[in-house]
Each structure stands twice: as structure tokens, then as C-alpha cells.
Structure 1
């Protein structure tokens, strides 16, 4: 083979005009990256690798579903489109895969850079007119942790003294965090020795596994992710994440939604009261209610509440009150759980012909009413409107994002360990989904549509 002495080669001419990275590149502005990271780099010594190059490589990995950093470095070395996106010439050196680990656990995490990168994509989506801000949807999805199921101990034994590592240190740091260790007083069934913050869960039809939860708050117009939060896999932590994301979105982007769409896990009385009374948001959420009965006796819905008299009227016409007598020492109206007990008089129930259908086993009927029942009633009234039916269909958008996250971006299992590792992966994945969303909704001008 006769080799030419000189070559005229341009990577620009070998990247297809309709390539996904060309469409994404228009929305990636990392101009302020170096200034943001300046305090974390030394002015002396050997020059460090350009942080913009590593961020662009991470964007490629999460947009293209390349989960391995070692394989990502190989792909950037070989693929012309990847080199073009990273601003590398043919002779440009690709960083070693170990460099990503050092920066992820060091400079990037200390500077909260990946959170800033995600917020940059949200700001760009808002600038492109893809965020309406009128309605949000929220949900959580389980992501498997990078641990072995059998390397664990029972939860009541606690973590052994010899357990060590970065993930163990992070676990000890978040024990008082309401999104992780302090999310619930219930002791976990098992604790993993490799990543103790991962939660043992049997919430799916599959065999139980260790996981983290990624929480999405999306805008309903074009399913843009406006916030993301990593938590342990319990319902209380997911409800707390919803509150954090709404407050952070209001503070960071000035978005005040009129309604929030979610499933029953977010329909507890305190959460509905927080949405209605504190935030002024309409809850398009099914009410979490266990008052229904399966023994054909009267349910709470068969009783009529009288707001003026603060009492319930039973089907027999008798009243149930919070107290049927006066006490020398006034008793609190509600218990520690936030419920008021309305009781009927024993003589009223004993002489009633409907007693067998109302309270066949007890002397008198009792009704539980939450102190936040007004917010629950509002959610029930919304559930009877046509707008609620539309919201039920719109809620599927967040489920589709989770399906895209696991099937297309291949994030069905974490590669980083510890709460901080989960945060890093979830922020990068959400940023990649927003970039792909903009590339789809705002195609390159001049390209013929398929």
C-alpha cells in the first residue's frame, strides 16, 4: 500500500448533519465552567485535564447509554462524531478512565458541578419555550444499587465495626438526613456492607434487591425535567423529595405551578395540606384513604359532616361528636397522628335499628377525621372533574421518562456507590434527557423532516 505524504482531513465534514450530537451541541454552553471550577484547581504544577472535555465526554456517555467509563474513553478515541463533540482533533489525547473517578469524587462533587450542569439544561429549556410552568407531575422510580445481594447483615445487628470505604462514610453522614437514614423510623430488614445507604426493597414483582430512588419533577407541557432528587427507597422520603423539588424550583427558576399531578403515594393528608394551604397548588392526586369497609357496613362516606356544628350525622339521623361530655381537664381535639375521633352515644347506637349495618361489634360507632380534611375534600372534588381525567393521562409522561431512562440510557443499575454517587448519576441522566428533549423538539434548521 502506497501511503500519502500529506492528508487533508476535516472531522467536521465526516459528522452527519442529522447526527444526534450535532443537535445536542447547540444547547451545550460550558463557557463559565472553568471559572466555576477555578478555586478547585491549583495554579502551579502540571496542567490538569480540561474539565469541559470531561463534562462533554460524560454527556456523550449518558446520552448514548455508554455506562462504562473505560468503554466511553475507547469510544471517544475511535468515533469521529464523539471527537467532534469533545473538540478533539485526530491527534487529541483522550483522558484515562481513572481521571473521571478522581474528579467525580473530588472537584466535581465539592463544587456541585453536576447539579449546576443539570440546572443549565433547565434554563436552556425555559429559554427555548419548552417549560410552561402551569402544571407539574412528580414520581419516583427504583434504580438498582451496585451491590451483591448476599453481602449483607440483618438490620437489627447494625453495621459491623470493620466496615469501611467511601460508601460507608457517606452512609454515616446521611443518617440524620430525612431523605436517607432518617426517612422512616422503621428499621431496614437488611443492611448491605458495600453500600449501606442502599435500601432493601421488595416493591416490585421481582426478587427483593437493594436500590435508590430517583425522583423527577417534570413540566407537563413537554415533559421537561425541572428538578431531580436522589433518596432512599421509601414512600416518606419520596414525599419529602417532592417538597424539596417544588421549593427549589420556585427559588431557583421562579416557577409556581397551578397544579401537581401524582399517584396515591403522595395523597396523604399532611402532604395534601402542604400543597393546598402552604403552596396554593391544586392537588390532582388520589386521596390516600383507608376508610372503606369490606364487610358491607356503613363507610365514612355514608356519614354527612356538618361544618357549623362540627359533627357527623349518621344514616339513622344521630350525631357523632368529638366529645360527648365535659372534662375538667380539656383534652386535645386531635391525637399525635393528626386525627380527630368523632363518637356516637352508646344509648343512640343501642336503640338504633341500623346498628347491625353500622357497628355490629362495638357499642358505639366512631369516625376518624383528619385535621387536614379540608385539603382531602378539595382533592376529592378535583377527582370528579374533567381536568382530573386529563391529568391522569398527563401523569404517564413521567412514567415514560423512567422507561426511557432504563431502556434507552441503560440506567437500570447504578455504577457509582453511596448517596453522592446516586446523586451524580441521577443529575447527569436528567441533564442528558433534557438535552435529548431539546434536540427532538428544536431540530436543526434546514434539515428535511423524515
Structure 2
């Protein structure tokens, strides 16, 4: 007998419990067990007035944002619509069937106000990280660092050449992102060089073609992860510029050490982090093993002699060429002692012209000059430490572990849908990157703890 849907009068009373309709293995159930916001109200107490109309519960807004980042719902308007319809979202946000979902404009007002003033998203990230540490997911022995370029909310058509004169007092340019840019003009990363193009919409973003293809305005999200289970230890936004990305590593490592008293034994990175000053900072200041390829442009691709063909004598502070002739930074004593350090933090070692003129290997050594010179970095000792580490089996293992950072970036862009920012300015990038990293840690914590306690080697 064919059934037929009843079209009679609606029932007057229903017995319905949201709890019974959320599957036991649902992702939000696992995340809910890992998310502890009991201290949230105490943390935000100073940013709310003791009088007046009660505000929307901040925990509700945080839980809604976690849902949005978890499922790649980038629009807050759409997030509120989905929360209105989806039972799992309502359950996670502690909303009953009758409770009203906040208006999407509430998020903007709080983000640009008390959430940003209180660094709430950084607090949330640290709380989630502590839960990861308590669960044994952080070993603290090896860290990996990398950066990924994320498109800014800035149109190519609103870009101007970097050396153009701009009237920043124009009312049409009086935006929050522009004010941030003007306040940050004194920062070292912005004074290094004029950008090729400057966005009038979001001036702190950088014009880049780093990923390949057409150039665009972008920021970089920098991750510092523990390689044991891929937990993100810190996140830092920077303009899409290599120097700023490398310098952010120092900020992240020092912040983790200050807040959690954790300093890694080794740091894994790609060649961008193998500059001489960065290696010297790791080796001499932080006592961290640099599992990083050395940034070295001295090796020659033709058959002529490279620096590696010359023997360095630490005692004599000189190089010896293959034929035994010396290269020194000075060949006569000066009345006033000189450091011989160049602006590039190198010391130039030169051979004698008379030695080179009659040398049988001159055509392979210095065919176009009358003598050979070598620029030695003042941080060459740290570079040699990195070279020695690169010859060890542990270094090979570290190269494979570095891929965990790249996997997190792929997850960030493909699953969380954060391939383009919605907020402008460095503070907007900071909010989005920090919240996304907190959600990635939450998902990792929920997944690993549901599988039982992690095994530590």
C-alpha cells in the first residue's frame, strides 16, 4: 500500500531534544569536548560596562566563529543563516530551537572593538595550545617554520606605482586599513624599500607574484609548528615579503619561549631561513640547531674555483688557495686597527697580485681580474654549523618533517577556504590568521584525542 504524507493540522506539542539528533562521531562533538571557554567572561570582564543592556554572550559569538572557520563559511551573514537552520551548529553554540541567532553585524562591531582591544583571538589560540600541550601533543624538541601567501582584499585596479605621491588626506582614503598603514610607516620592514605597487585599499599588503602567475596584493601567514604532531605553536601575519617572513620567526620563537617556557632543540626551515644573520641568531643567541639549507650564492656553476676549493685557517685568519698562496683581509699593519667589515657584513680576503700573475691556475681562479678575492661572512661559523648538520641523517628526517607545515597551509586554503582575506589591514590579517590557526589546532586535538592518547617517541 502506497503511503501518503499527512497534510492535516500541525501538532500542538512536540517532544524534541537537539542532543538526540547530533551523531556521536560528529566533528563538533569532538571539538566541543576540547574547547574550554570557562575563563572567557573573566578575561573580557574589563571590556564590558557594568551597567546598561546585556550584550550578546561573547561565548556564543566565539562558538559561531569557530563553526564558520571549521566548515569554511567565510561570510558571517551566511554563517548566521546556516546556524539558524543547522541543528549541529545550534547544539554547538548552546542555542535551543527557540533561541535567536545574532545578527551578522554584531561580529563586525565586536571585532573592531572589544575583541581586538583585548586580543581575544590570541587568548583563544593560547588556550587551545595549552589544551594540546596538556594532551601530550607537543614534544618541544623540533619546530618547523614556513610562510604561505594569502590574497588580500585589495583590487589590482586600486593599485598605484610605489613611488607615486599620494594625498593620504583625501577623505576617500580615510579607512581603517589606511590609518594602520600611516601609523606603521616607521617600522623597519616598511622602510627597507619602496614597493613596486601600493594598494590604496589596503596599503600594508604587498604586491607579489611569489606563487607564480599574475601578481596580486597579499599578506603572509607564518606558522611555527611542533613537528611531533603538527600542532601550531605560533602564528604571525606579515606583508608578503621574504625579509618580513624570516624576521617573524624570531618573534614567534621568543613569544613561545616567554609564554610557555619552550625552546626547541632544532628549527627546520627552507632556504629562505638560511641567511647568515638568521643562522647566527639561531646558533649564537638561541642555541638552536639550524636544520636549514644555507643561503649560498658563492658556488660557481662553471669550472672555475669556488670558495669551497680554498682552505680556511682559523688560527691564521686567512684562506689558502689550492696552490698554497694566502688570501688575507690586510697585507700590512695599519696604525689604527680596522674591522674590514663591509655593509653586507662580510670581510674581503685578497690574494697578492704577484702570486696570482705567475700562478698556473689563474685561468680557473680569476681569469678576468689580476688577483682573487673572497667575501667571507662575519657569521661564517654559524653557516658552517648548518653545513655540518646538513650532512647528518637527522637532517634528512627533518626535511620530511617540514612537509607538515605545507600540509597545514593546504588544509588552511582548501578546507577552511582561507585563500583570500575578508578583513583589511594588518589587524584584520592577524584576526583571521590567528583564529584559523586556533581552529586547526582544535581539529587536530579533537582528532588525535578521539583516537586515544598519543604515543611519544
TM-score band by shorter chain is over 0.9
Q: Quote the offset at 1:337 in angstroms.
A: 1.7
Structure 2 match to 1:437:
444
* Alpha-carbon distance in 1 for matches of 2:433, 2:61: 17
Structure 1 match to 2:182:
172
Matches for 1:273-352 after TM superposition, within 5 Å: 273-352=280-359
Count of residues in correspondence between the two structures = 442
Given candidates 213, 229, 234, the residue that maps to 1:227 is 234
Unaligned runs of 5+ in 2: 1-7, 453-457
Structure 2 match to 1:86:
93
What's the secondary structure of 2:139's corresponding residue? coil
* Alpha-carbon distance in 2 for matches of 1:4, 1:425: 45
Q: Quote the offset at 1:394 in angstroms.
A: 0.4
Could you list the per-position Cα deviations for residues 203-223 of structure 1 after superposition, in whole angstroms to 9, with x for gaps in the alignment?
A: 121200000000000001000
Structure 2 match to 1:381:
388
After TM superposition, the structure 1 stretch with the greater mean CA deviation from structure 2, 396-405 or 324-333, is 324-333
| TM-score normalised to structure 1 length | 0.97
Structure 2 match to 1:418:
425
Q: Quote the offset at 1:295 in angstroms.
A: 3.1
Once superposed, what is the RMSD of the aligned Cα atoms? Answer: 1.1
Distance 1:165 1:222, change over 3 A: same
Q: Quote the offset at 1:255 in angstroms.
A: 0.8
* Alpha-carbon distance in 2 for matches of 1:387, 1:43: 57
Q: Quote the offset at 1:32 in angstroms.
A: 1.0
- Determine whether 1:122 maps to 2:122: no
Given candidates 6, 18, 34, the residue that maps to 2:13 is 6
Could you list the per-position Cα deviations for residues 385-407 of structure 1 after superposition, in whole angstroms to 9, with x for gaps in the alignment?
A: 11110000000000000000000
* Structure 1 contact 159–191 (Cα < 8 Å) conserved: no
* Structure 2 contact 312–320 (Cα < 8 Å) conserved: yes
- Determine whether 1:364 maps to 2:371: yes
What's the secondary structure of 1:4's corresponding residue? coil
* Alpha-carbon distance in 1 for matches of 2:215, 2:176: 25
Unaligned runs of 5+ in 1: 446-450
* Alpha-carbon distance in 1 for matches of 2:337, 2:258: 42
Q: Quote the offset at 1:256 in angstroms.
A: 1.3
* Alpha-carbon distance in 2 for matches of 1:216, 1:276: 21
What's the secondary structure of 1:157's corresponding residue? coil
Structure 1 match to 2:4:
none
Q: Quote the offset at 1:294 in angstroms.
A: 2.5
| TM-score normalised to structure 2 length | 0.95
Could you list the per-position Cα deviations for residues 81-131 of structure 1 after superposition, in whole angstroms to 9, with x for gaps in the alignment?
A: 000000000011111000000000001000000000001111000000000
* Structure 1 contact 405–412 (Cα < 8 Å) conserved: yes
Could you list the per-position Cα deviations for residues 372-393 of structure 1 after superposition, in whole angstroms to 9, with x for gaps in the alignment?
A: 1110000000001111100000
* Alpha-carbon distance in 1 for matches of 2:165, 2:16: 61
